[in-house]
């Protein structure tokens, strides 16, 4: 089953809320031990993620004059969430002090995901540049002229 594009961010948000709730529970159980930077980054992430979910419902139509500004806001907040999330995982790894292989595995995962993102970004920009130049990115667009071409 493929999730529609609307359900994926909501599912991600629900998983994030579960993680945030777990962090609150673990934080309340560790009396006298405080990891303030990890906590503050987590709270900031939760607030930004909530803002992003609300932004889904307030997104202007593609031809609206404010859509350009909404896109800047949406991408800016999204990239901030990614960066802060990565930093917060490293903070969490410092707190837990696991074996070095776990930190190395996380770094490798980030490198693989980063490489995939770069490849997909390149493919997107190639498709956009072809579309702007008038070339079709589809092998067949479904239209025929009077000669059957």
Same domain for 51 and 82, yes or no, is yes
Same domain for 53 and 111, yes or no, is no
DSSP annotation of 146: T
Count of structural domains within the chain: 2
pLDDT of residue 1: 46
> Does a structural domain hold residue 141?
no
Same domain for 54 and 126, yes or no, is no
Same domain for 40 and 74, yes or no, is yes
Same domain for 16 and 51, yes or no, is yes
pLDDT of residue 112: 97
Say how far residue 85 (Cα) sits from the centre of its chain: 10
Q: How do the pLDDT tens digits run along the chain, 149 residues long?
A: 444 567 777 888 898 889 888 888 888 887 777 788 988 999 899 999 999 888 888 888 889 898 899 889 999 998 999 999 999 999 989 988 999 999 999 999 999 999 999 999 999 999 988 888 775 555 555 555 555 55
> Does a structural domain hold residue 48?
yes
Angle at 52 between CA 28 and CA 13, to 5 degrees: 50
Phi-psi region of 61 (alpha: psi -120 to 50; beta: other; left: phi over 0): beta
pLDDT of residue 147: 59
Domain extent for 103: 99-136
Same domain for 79 and 116, yes or no, is no
Same domain for 108 and 67, yes or no, is no
pLDDT of residue 30: 78
């Amino acid at each position: 089953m493929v999730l529609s594009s609307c359900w994926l961010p909501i599912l991600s948000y629900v998983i994030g809320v579960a993680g945030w709730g777990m962090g609150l529970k673990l934080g309340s159980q560790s009396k006298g031990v405080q990891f303030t930077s990890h906590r503050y980054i987590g709270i900031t992430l939760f607030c930004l993620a909530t803002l992003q979910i609300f932004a889904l419902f307030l997104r202007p139509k593609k031809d609206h004059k404010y859509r350009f500004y909404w896109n800047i806001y949406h991408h800016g907040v999204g990239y901030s969430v990614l960066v802060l999330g990565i930093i917060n995982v490293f903070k969490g790894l410092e707190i837990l002090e696991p074996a070095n292989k776990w930190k190395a595995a996380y770094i490798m995962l980030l490198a693989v995901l980063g490489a995939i993102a770069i490849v997909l970004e390149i493919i997107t920009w190639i498709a956009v540049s072809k579309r702007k130049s008038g070339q079709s990115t589809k092998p067949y667009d479904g239209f025929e002229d009077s000669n059957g071409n």
